[in-house]
Chains A and B, each alone.
Chain A
Amino acid sequence: AQSVTQPDIHITVSEGASLELRCNYSYGATPYLFWYVQSPGQGLQLLLKYFSGDTLVQGIKGFEAEFKRSQSSFNLRKPSVHWSDAAEYFCAVGAQDTGKLIFGQGTTLQVKP
């Protein structure tokens, strides 16, 4: 069955520290992979996506993610976190034909001053 797991429900980091949010997926074919961010009261904003090619993808707001097929992972990273990065982050896998997205549980990021 297709699924996405985000093992960390809640993460707290200090401003300026590096960040890694974990995502593991289970999908029968080559997946389309996404990270979305949701700030309080806002919709889901696309941070970055991976379809094929270079396994390290760059996104908006200084985020990047690396696709590792051997580990079925697509972890999100940022070298230096800003207070405005506090939000909920969702990893998702997409069906190539219909586009249906399957989301992980989400990780809430808190940033300490």
Chain B
Amino acid sequence: EPEVTQTPSHQVTQMGQEVILRCVPISNHLYFYWYRQILGQKVEFLVSFYNNEISEKSEIFDDQFSVERPDGSNFTLKIRSTKLEDSAMYFCASSETSDTQYFGPGTRLTVL
């Protein structure tokens, strides 16, 4: 069964450094999403992406964040200058239409 994959599973970085989180969505899916879950808190929507552009973003998704689909398979989330409060589990999701999303296993980001 096809699934969403994410790399790395755990990323440790220093405050102020740039990080890129990578996702490979399910191959025939057209809608892509990033969510995050700070430890002990809700899963929060960050951004949705369709037809090579952002379709919706949350207040969390400020100028420090960007997304890209650099080729036909990868979907990336970049944080330009990480802060301590960016430490969280980041989930990628994809869907064939905009209704049912399938999630990857997540990347745990630790900012020191």
User: A-side interface residues toward B, CB under 8 Å?
Assistant: 32, 34, 36, 41-46, 49, 51, 90, 92, 94-106
Contacts and interface: CB of A to CB of B under 8 A. Distances in A.
Interface string B96-107: 001111111110
B45 A96 contact: no
Main secondary structure of the interface of B (DSSP, over half): strand
A32 B35 CA distance: 18
B112 to A, nearest CB: 22
Nearest to B92: A43
19 contacts: A32-B99, A41-B105, A43-B4, A43-B91, A43-B106, A44-B93, A46-B101, A90-B43, A98-B48, A98-B56, A99-B98, A99-B101, A100-B33, A101-B35, A101-B93, A102-B45, A103-B42, A104-B42, A105-B41
Nearest to A105: B42
A108 to B, nearest CB: 11
B42 A98 contact: no
Nearest to A98: B56
A55 B82 CA distance: 44
B42 A99 contact: no
A17 B53 CA distance: 48
B95 interface: yes
Given A44-B43, A44-B103, A100-B48, 15 more contacts: A32-B99, A44-B93, A46-B100, A46-B102, A49-B100, A51-B99, A90-B43, A92-B43, A96-B99, A98-B48, A98-B98, A99-B95, A100-B45, A101-B101, A106-B42
User: What 7 pairs across the A-B complex have the smallest Cβ distances?
Assistant: A99-B98, A43-B105, A44-B103, A103-B43, A98-B56, A43-B103, A100-B45
A95 B101 CA distance: 12
A112 B102 CA distance: 30
B99 A101 contact: no
B75 interface: no
Nearest to A106: B42
Contact of B99 (A99, A102, A103, A106): A99
A42 to B, nearest CB: 6
B28 to A, nearest CB: 16
